[in-house]
């Protein structure tokens, strides 16, 4: 690695140096806004060798560390990796670990200092003697926060030797979660900001602005109240509002554009006093939302050092300590009035204010804060190494958390709390533990509630041909179950037609109907060879969407036909043309399936179809073209759904019947097959005789790591899938449509809308109606938009296709993400799955469910898969008992 270090001083202190090392993992760039990490670490570098590790930057080619020395004993490292995932993402960890290991000398046990819990898996690379968590923000409340962040923070709080919080609100939130938690609110460099008292030193960029000037410096993001800023600008066009700082995580186009608002961009720390010097009032225009609930703005004390009036919204960590000095406003009207009052402040009031401000800033400094933190660090006794590896274990394969006093043991560990895992736990009995990383059960069958609306993670319904599953539905839901006739439709050519497309062509343009009928006839009778092949494939099943909307017929397993069909087409696209014909292919099957699967259909094989998409019945096609189809057809023509609680109610129904233990917020982070042990994010280890994994197969192999042979790891990496983003919309109008779901093969960003409001009337608040727009994405077709822009595009497309009106009020809009949604049946899938399964089977790991078996399952198949997994474990136990008795 040494030849890859660039642009910096040597990583280590000079030979003979006695300085102890602090390795810092930070989510903020050193050259970003100068704030808490820079203030503290630059001062700690007087007593420690400080190595700051930033989040990785994408770089094609081999990974390396770029370093630069920013101060004596303070070096910043910027990892460059060929992984596009942002932050300390799980995909980055295997590449970062060997790079970071070389920062630590042999036998050295440094202090690990975390600003983000997402770096937790990297601790095993540096073997820390002491772990520090400096919690400066509630990162989980920020926009686009990683989904694992809360679980990682729980683990870090359990592990940390000492926790510092950036303000009183954070301290109250964390103090009961670690006994050695200390509150160190934001401080101030008085000497630096008191330069603003030289009022003549005006930054050139604002020298030409009229007065009065009201200013803000800091990051402009989701915490910033842009509506408030516009209200102030509108109320007083003569005021000049100076906004200094970068715009991040929000669209700059969304900022108010009044002529008296001046966006100066990011300024250096050295420039800030010259901005302050020319202001008349300092502003803290923060929105009051989840992202600001725990903030403790550093700029309050920096404004005070400049001895300027301050107006703030009602941020808790401003109101409580400084409410007697800072003017607090709880509405735009109050904020404007407070600014007016500040500008009209009498000399006597100003003198009293200045006295109060001086008393506050003289009580604190960043140097004093750093010294107090250092005292707590040096007072800590040397701890056991935090790699947590018991004697005789391979530390490289162990989760980087301190080992618990005892290791728990269960006959069976079930990893994953989706429908398969819940079913396995239900069928297993007492000596089993189900570990679910989510706070609620159900996996992708969970539901969320938002202001009276209930939304599922994508659309789910209940249907099955299996009598056992039907009885299970009744047991799990009791009277919280209702059945209804399916209303599934396709929207194309500006008209709605019933699902399936090929059986309900009535209403489409005559030219389209003609092409579809002629194409279907040619597909059946065009040539003798094609005729024989097509007839062998014909079955009365009609899922032209190939998205799991119908039950598999008898004689199939996991989406694969048991009896081999002769003369199968070579790929999915060829199948579509041979089975449906060119017309249906052109007008629906090709565009819809390309939209859903995101990959070229020629890259997909056809074994998974197994009766899902066979040859249409020509009589039905012609009848459906001549007159409207009166009722839904197929095995899910009538479906069930919970009356209350969304689909969540079905999977939650397992819990009262599970005799074993169920743990939520219990994330499995590593699997050690050789030791029959799983390691959790909170530091615990659980031994097992049997492991039932319902986790995605690539994730399971990644957690096993180097213990899996290279061919197994490569096979797992070769497994492809698509993801689904759900944009949920709550409309302030009842009974928008009578449909249950709608397929969109044409230009909308979504491929399907699940009409959540019709799944059950209790999914809507009075007068409201819920819709879920489903958007597939993958590495081959990334999301074209994200965040608010994606929501807005969905709203626009909903208006364009007429599902809602332009006049409709959207009162709820949120998103849920499903990183693993559909397994892609590419041509390498079968061989890759076989390689992985064969190795795992030798290590008593039972695979169950859609993602672990890497098969095409619906939720009822998941119930059966869990039952079969439990039966496999019981059979193995019975066999072991017989063997023991025989001996």
Q: What is the mean pLDDT of each run of 10 residues along the chain (887 residues)?
A: 32 51 95 92 95 94 92 95 90 89 84 94 88 92 80 87 92 87 91 94 93 96 95 97 94 94 95 96 94 89 97 93 93 96 95 94 91 83 37 30 58 96 95 92 94 94 93 96 94 94 93 95 68 40 44 36 52 91 95 95 86 62 89 78 96 95 90 93 87 96 92 95 96 96 97 97 96 94 90 97 97 94 95 97 94 90 96 90 64
Report the C-alpha dihedral over residues 330, 331, 336, 342, rounded to 10 degrees: -10
Rg (CA), the chain: 31
Question: Tokens 């592990």 correspond to what residue?
Answer: 159
DSSP 220: B
The three state secondary structure string of 349-378 is HHHHHHHHHHHHHCCCCHHHHHHHHHHHHH
So where are the chain's domains?
A: 2-183, 190-364, 396-445+663-719+838-881, 491-635, 721-823
The three state secondary structure string of 610-676 is CCCCCCCCHHHHHHHHHCCCCCCCCCCCEEEEECCCCCHHHHHCCHHHCCCEEECCCCEEEEEHHHC
Question: Tokens 């008898």 correspond to what residue?
Answer: 554
Instruction: List the end-to-end C-alpha distance of the chain, in Å, as a whole number.
Output: 55
Helices 510-525 and 618-626, interaxial angle, to 10°? 170
Query: CA–CA separation, 887 vs 878, rounded Å?
Result: 14
User: Is the pTM here over 0.85, yes or no?
Assistant: no
Q: CB neighbours (10 Å) of residue 883?
A: 9
CATH number of 190-364: 3.40.50.2000
pLDDT value at residue 510: 96
Non-local CB neighbours of 342 within 8 Å, separated by 6+ positions: 280, 281, 309, 310, 311, 327
Two domains, one topology: 396-445+663-719+838-881 and 721-823:
no
* DSSP assignments along 267-283, one per residue: --GGGHHHHHTT-SEEE
Topology of domain 396-445+663-719+838-881 in CATH is FAD/NAD(P)-binding domain (3.50.50)
Topology of domain 2-183 in CATH is Rossmann fold (3.40.50)
In DSSP terms, 179 is beta-bridged to none
pLDDT value at residue 882: 66
Non-local CB neighbours of 826 within 8 Å, separated by 6+ positions: 599, 603, 604, 605, 720
Question: Tokens 């403790």 correspond to what residue?
Answer: 296
Query: CA–CA separation, 279 vs 218, rounded Å?
Result: 15
Q: How distant is the alpha carbon of residue 276 from its chain centre?
A: 39
Query: CA–CA separation, 137 vs 186, rounded Å?
Result: 11
Helices 572-580 and 510-525, interaxial angle, to 10°? 100
pLDDT value at residue 545: 52
CB 110 within 8 A of CB 20: yes
470 token code pair = 């039907």
∠ CA 27-242-350, nearest 5°, is 105
Topology of domain 721-823 in CATH is Polyamine Oxidase; Chain A, domain 2 (3.90.660)
Ramachandran category for residue 829: left, alpha or beta (phi over 0 → left; psi -120 to 50 → alpha)? alpha
CB 535 within 8 A of CB 493: no
533 token code pair = 């092949």
pLDDT value at residue 604: 95
């Amino acid at each position: 690695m040494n030849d890859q270090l660039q642009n910096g001083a040597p990583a280590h202190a000079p030979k003979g140096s006695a300085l102890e090392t602090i390795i810092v993992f930070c989510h903020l760039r050193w050259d970003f806004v100068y704030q808490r990490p820079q203030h503290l670490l630059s001062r700690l570098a007087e007593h420690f060798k400080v190595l700051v590790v930033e989040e990785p930057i994408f770089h094609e080619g081999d990974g390396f560390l770029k370093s630069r020395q920013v101060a004596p004993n303070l070096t910043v490292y910027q990892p460059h990796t060929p992984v596009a995932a942002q932050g300390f993402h799980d995909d980055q960890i295997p590449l970062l670990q060997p790079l970071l290991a070389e920062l630590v000398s042999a036998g050295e046990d440094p202090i690990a200092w975390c600003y983000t819990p997402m770096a937790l898996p990297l601790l095993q690379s540096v073997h820390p003697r002491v772990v520090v968590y400096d919690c400066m923000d509630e990162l989980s409340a920020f926009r686009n926060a990683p989904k694992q962040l809360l679980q990682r923070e729980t683990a870090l709080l359990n592990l940390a030797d000492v926790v510092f919080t950036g303000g009183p609100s954070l301290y109250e939130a964390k103090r009961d979660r670690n006994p050695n938690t200390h509150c160190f609110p934001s401080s101030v460099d008085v000497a630096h900001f008191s330069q603003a008292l030289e009022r003549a030193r005006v930054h050139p960029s604002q020298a030409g602005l009229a007065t009065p000037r009201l200013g803000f410096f800091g990051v402009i993001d989701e915490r910033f109240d842009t509506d408030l800023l516009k209200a102030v600008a509108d109320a007083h066009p003569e005021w000049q509002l100076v906004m200094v700082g970068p715009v991040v995580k929000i669209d700059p186009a969304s900022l108010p554009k009044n002529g008296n608002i001046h966006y100066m961009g990011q300024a250096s720390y050295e420039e800030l006093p010259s901005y302050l010097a020319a202001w008349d009032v300092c502003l803290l225009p923060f929105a009051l939302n989840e992202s600001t609930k725990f903030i403790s703005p550093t700029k309050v004390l920096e404004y005070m050092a400049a001895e300027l009036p301050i107006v703030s919204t009602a941020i808790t960590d401003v109101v409580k300590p400084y409410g007697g000095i800072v003017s607090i406003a709880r509405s735009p009207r109050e904020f404007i009035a407070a600014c007016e009052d500040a500008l009209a402040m009498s000399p006597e009031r100003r003198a009293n204010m200045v006295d109060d401000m001086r008393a506050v800033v003289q009580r604190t400094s960043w140097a004093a804060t750093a010294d107090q933190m250092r005292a707590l660090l040096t007072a800590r006794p040397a701890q056991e190494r935090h790699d947590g590896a018991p004697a005789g274990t391979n530390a490289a394969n162990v989760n980087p958390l301190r080992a618990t006093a005892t290791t728990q043991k269960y006959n069976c560990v079930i990893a994953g709390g989706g429908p398969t895992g819940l079913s396995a736990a239900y069928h297993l009995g007492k000596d089993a533990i189900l570990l679910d990383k989510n706070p609620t059960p159900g996996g992708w069958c969970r539901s969320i509630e938002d202001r009276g609306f209930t939304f599922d993670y994508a659309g789910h319904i209940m249907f099955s041909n299996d009598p056992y599953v039907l009885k299970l539905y009744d047991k799990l839901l009791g009277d919280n179950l209702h059945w209804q006739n399916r209303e599934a439709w396709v929207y194309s050519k500006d008209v709605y037609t019933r699902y399936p497309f090929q059986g309900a062509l009535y209403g489409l343009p005559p030219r389209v109907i003609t092409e579809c009928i002629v194409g279907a006839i040619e597909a059946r009778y065009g040539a003798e060879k094609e005729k024989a092949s097509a007839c062998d494939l014909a079955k009365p099943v009609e899922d032209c969407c190939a998205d799991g909307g119908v039950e598999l017929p008898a004689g199939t397993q996991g989406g694969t036909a048991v009896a081999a069909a002769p003369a199968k087409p070579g790929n999915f696209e060829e199948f579509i043309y041979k089975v449906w014909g060119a017309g249906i292919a052109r007008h629906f099957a090709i565009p819809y399936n390309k939209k859903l699967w995101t990959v070229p259909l020629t890259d997909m094989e056809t074994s998974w179809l197994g009766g899902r998409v066979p040859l249409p019945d020509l009589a039905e096609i012609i009848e459906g073209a001549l007159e409207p189809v009166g009722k839904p057809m197929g095995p899910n023509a009538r479906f069930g759904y919970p009356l209350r609680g969304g689909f969540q109610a079905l999977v939650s129904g397992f819990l009262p019947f599970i005799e074993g233990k169920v743990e939520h917020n219990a994330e499995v982070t590593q699997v050690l097959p050789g030791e029959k042990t799983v390691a959790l994010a909170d530091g615990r280890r659980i031994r097992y005789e049997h492991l039932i994994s319902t986790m995605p197969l690539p994730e399971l192999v990644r957690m096993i790591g180097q213990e899996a042979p290279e061919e197994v790891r490569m096979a797992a990496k070769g497994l492809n899938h698509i993801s689904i983003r759900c944009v949920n919309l709550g409309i302030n109008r009842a009974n928008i449509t009578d449909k249950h779901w709608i397929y969109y093969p044409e230009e909308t960003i979504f491929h399907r809308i699940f009409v959540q409001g019709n799944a059950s009337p209790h999914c809507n608040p009075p007068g409201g109606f819920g819709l879920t727009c489903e958007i597939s994405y993958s590495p081959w077709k990334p999301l074209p938009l994200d965040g608010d822009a994606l929501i807005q595009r969905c709203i626009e497309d909903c208006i364009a296709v007429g599902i809602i009106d332009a006049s409709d009020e959207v009162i709820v809009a949120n998103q849920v993400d499903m990183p693993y949604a559909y397994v892609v049946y590419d041509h390498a899938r079968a061989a890759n799955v076989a390689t992985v399964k064969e190795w795992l089977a030798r290590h008593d790991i039972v695979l169950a469910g859609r993602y672990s078996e890497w098969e095409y399952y619906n939720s009822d198949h998941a119930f059966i898969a869990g039952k079969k997994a439990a039966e496999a474990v019981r059979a193995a136990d019975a066999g072991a008992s017989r063997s023991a008795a025989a001996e």
